[in-house]
Chains A and B, each alone.
Chain A
Amino acid sequence: QVQLVESGGGVVQPGRSLRLSCAASGFTLSTYGMYWVRQAPGKGLEWLTSISYDGSYIYYADSVKGRFTISRENSKNTLYLQMNSLRTEDTAVYYCAKCRVTYDVDDAFDIWGQGTMVTVSS
């Protein structure tokens, strides 16, 4: 069964850091581009970042560029999102998602994790 499971969310103070993980199972992570998407409470979906299957191509939304870092450890079937200098407006459910096709990063997202909540508050 193809599955993504996020972890690492929680409550953090503004300015602090947090690292999210996304454990993949049921497919070969090393052949798929991956993504992080967030959804603030009561709001829509916001794409944050993409990483190609081998990590050679990485893209960020302007809202997180310079603060968030996506990475992957294919040997551990895990995707990461390092979030630094967190702001109250970063409060959201964070989802990891998988690219629909292999060896690409520009396509639809066919599998999503269940999401992990990040709350940035003093």
Chain B
Amino acid sequence: DIQMTQSPSSLSASVGDRVTITCRASQGIGNCFAWYQQKSGKVPKVLIYAASTLQSGVPSRFSGSGSGTDFTLTISSLQPEDVATYYCQKCDSAPLTFGGGTKVEIK
């Protein structure tokens, strides 16, 4: 099975900073790749699908890129409400593996 390695596992940044989270697949995967945000005690929410398409209602400071084995989630200007854990996911074929998560905090 393809493994998803997400990094870093946690980060602390200042409001307004540009934040980048990466996810690497152990083998090349198709274009079906998603990013989710989970705030503490809440249900996960999809931010990005098809690697780079912003889900309706998600702020434009979030963006996704990548293909093959390397994918990136970028928050262009970190806001206090972005404090959360972020997960990547391959969704091209089962198993639909999630990355280990990145906890984002405000410095």
Q: Binary interface profile of A, 8-38, with partner B (CB < 8 Å = 1, else 0)?
A: 0000000000000000000000000001010
Interface positions of B from 1 to 51, Cβ below 8 Å from A: 1, 32, 34, 36, 38, 43-46, 49-50
A109: chain B residues at CB < 8 Å are 34, 36, 44, 46, 89, 91
**Extra pairs beyond A45-B38, A50-B94, A62-B1 (7, CB < 8 Å):** A45-B36, A45-B89, A47-B98, A106-B94, A107-B91, A112-B43, A113-B43
Binding site for B on A (CB under 8 A): 35, 37, 44-47, 50, 59-62, 95, 100, 106-110, 112-115
Given the known A-B contacts A107-B49, A107-B91, are A47 and B44 also in contact in the complex, defined by CB atoms under 8 Å?
A: no
Given the known A-B contacts A108-B32, A113-B43, are A45 and B49 also in contact in the complex, defined by CB atoms under 8 Å?
A: no
Min CB–CB distance A49 → chain B (angstroms): 9
A37: chain B residues at CB < 8 Å are 44
B98 touches A45 (CB 8 A): yes
Task: Please measure, in the bound complex, the distance between the C-alpha atom of A59 and the C-alpha atom of B55, giving whole angstroms.
Answer: 26
A45: chain B residues at CB < 8 Å are 36, 38, 44, 87, 89, 98, 101
B32 touches A112 (CB 8 A): no
A106 touches B93 (CB 8 A): yes
Task: Please measure, in the bound complex, the distance between the C-alpha atom of A35 and the C-alpha atom of B59, giving whole angstroms.
Answer: 26
A106 touches B87 (CB 8 A): no
B95 touches A61 (CB 8 A): yes
A44: chain B residues at CB < 8 Å are 85, 87, 98-101
B55: chain A residues at CB < 8 Å are 108, 110
- Top 10 nearest A-B pairs (CB, nearest first) are A59-B94, A108-B49, A108-B34, A45-B98, A47-B96, A44-B101, A112-B43, A108-B46, A110-B46, A44-B100
Min CB–CB distance A70 → chain B (angstroms): 12
B43 touches A114 (CB 8 A): yes
Given the known A-B contacts A44-B87, A108-B32, are A59 and B43 also in contact in the complex, defined by CB atoms under 8 Å?
A: no
B1: chain A residues at CB < 8 Å are 62
Contact of B96 among A35, A100, A115 (CB under 8 A): A35
